[in-house]
Amino acid sequence: MGTGIVNTLLFDLPWQSTHAAFRGIGCAFLLLDMVLFAAFTFLTLLRYYLSPRIFVAMLHHETHSLFLGTIPMGLITIVSGIASTGEEYGLKTLNAALVLYWFTVGLSCMTAFGVPFIMFTQHKHAAETMTAAWLLPIVPLITAASVGSTMCKLLVAEDRLGYAMVTLVASYLCAGIGMLLAAAIIVLYLQRLVLHHLPPREVIVSSWLPVGPIGQGGYALIELGIVANDLFPRYAALHSQQQPYLALIAPSLLGTAVLIGLLLWGLGIWFAFLAVVSIAAQFRESGGKGKEGGTKTAVFNMGWWAFTFPLGSLTLLTFSLARIFDSIFFKVCSTIMTGAVTLLWVIVFVPTCLGFIRGTLFAAPCLQALPREYVEKLAPAEGGVPLRKAEKRAKAGA
């Protein structure tokens, strides 16, 4: 997700004179994203094939299972990159991107419908332990809606209006499910902050996660409104007897989307500010002394990737507002935000590589739910990590 969003942002920069250079860099990020996704998909499938009980334990873990939503979100950034790159260089990749798109929509529905049901029936959650990670199973549908707008634009350009209409309606349905559920979860998250204060230092980076659905949702609505404004009159002209009113609806969809987009951009800035000051407060506290006299330190973990994708989503909304208003303010903001996301990607990618090489990066908190003798058998298959070290890392991840 964090790597793919950089590719998308570099392709959308508003300054035409810099497009060739930055889109070339964006293609490199797209290739890296494909390699990472393919490698970790293979490793994940192999792991669960060799140890099926880990998959069941993961589903029953209150935190680990939430990250299933990152799988379709990671894939959808690749779909967006394939479609954009194909359009840029004249490659006939639209059909391949569409196949992957509908596959991703299916995965997004599985996480958005399945994971919350497991939360309702199998997990034990509490208000004081809630984090913004509850959004992760829901956000893929919003991301699918935003990428659906890209698919629709390419289909309209090829005069495949019927297919574009189906994709547009499906994208609106995805946005409706994802955005409304995300709004409900954000309300619960605000209540958690008021009543139980900030999340613990180990998961404070999750404070960035509400920015993701806010930015993606506003971006999706505006881009879908732009597509509707182009598609509906043309579709109505072909079906004037059945749908004579479509051309009248389109301007309202776009106007409403722009209004909601502006409101969501302001809300996204507020949540981004909240995330910055929350992390700064926790990091400032981490420089002090613990109860035992030891120094508190902010230990790197995979959650730090939450720095990249949510801010990138808000940047996409800023791009849309810049195009709609032809505003130098939003253009400059989107460029600065793109630079910030790219810099954050470098800051997080380097320790990720170091942790991967050292074998200290990945924690499996769900292993605590398995019998000890079963975990002992898995220790060699889990990279030769001694059981006591694996348990320590699992507790840290939890």
Percent of the chain past pLDDT 90, that is, above it, reads 58
- Find out whether 205 and 307 touch, Cβ atoms under 8 Å: yes
- Find out whether 234 and 161 touch, Cβ atoms under 8 Å: yes
Distance between CA atoms of residues 194 and 165, nearest Å: 43
* Predicted TM-score (pTM) of this structure: 0.88
Residue 287, pLDDT score: 56
- Is the pLDDT at 75 greater than 80, yes or no? yes
Other CB atoms within 10 Å distance of the CB of residue 151: 25
Q: What is the largest CA-CA distance in the chain?
A: 79
How far from each other are the two terminal CA atoms of the chain, in whole angstroms?
22
Supply angle C-alpha 95, 96, 97, rounded to 5. Answer: 90
Q: Tokens standing for 172?
A: 């609106």
Residue 210, pLDDT score: 96
Distance between CA atoms of residues 130 and 200, nearest Å: 10
Report which residue type is found at 360: T
Residue 158, pLDDT score: 86
Helix H, strand E, coil C: the string for the chain is CHHHHHHHHHHHCCCHHHHHHHHHHHHHHHHHHHHHHHHHHHHHHHHHHHCHHHHHHHHHCCCHHHHHHHHHHHHHHHHHHHHHHHHHHCCCCHHHHHHHHHHHHHHHHHHHHHHHHHHHHCCCCCHHHCCHHHHCCCHHHHHHHHHHHHHHHHHHHCCCHHHHHHHHHHHHHHHHHHHHHHHHHHHHHHHHHHHHCCCCHHHHHHHHCCHHHHHHHHHHHHHHHHHHHHHHHHHHHHCCCCCCCHHHHHHHHHHHHHHHHHHHHHHHHHHHHHHHHHHHHHHHHHCCECCCCCECCCCCCHHHHHHCHHHHHHHHHHHHHHHHHCCHHHHHHHHHHHHHHHHHHHHHHHHHHHHHHHCCCCCCHHHHHCCHHHHHHHCCCCCCCCHHHHHHHHHHHC
For domain 2-362, the CATH superfamily is: Voltage-dependent anion channel (1.50.10.150)
Residue whose structure tokens are 């942002």: 9
Residue 295, beta-bridge partner list? 289
CA proximity to 1, closest of 153, 175, 215 = 215
Cβ within 8 Å of residue 386, ≥6 positions away = 379
Residue 322, pLDDT score: 95
Q: How confident is the model at residue 239 (pLDDT cuts 50, 70, 90)?
A: confident
- pLDDT, one tens digit per residue, over 136-186 is 999 999 999 999 999 999 999 888 999 999 999 999 999 999 999 999 999
- Is the pLDDT at 306 greater than 60, yes or no? yes
Residue 344, pLDDT score: 94
* φ, ψ dihedrals at 290, nearest 5°: -80, 180
Q: Tokens standing for 129?
A: 């332990």
**What is the pLDDT of the chain when averaged over all its residues?**
86
- Is the pLDDT at 382 greater than 50, yes or no? no
- Find out whether 72 and 65 touch, Cβ atoms under 8 Å: no
Residue 33, pLDDT score: 95
Supply angle C-alpha 234, 252, 222, rounded to 5. Answer: 85
- Is the pLDDT at 44 greater than 70, yes or no? yes
Residue 386, pLDDT score: 43
Per-domain boundaries in the chain? 2-362, 363-398
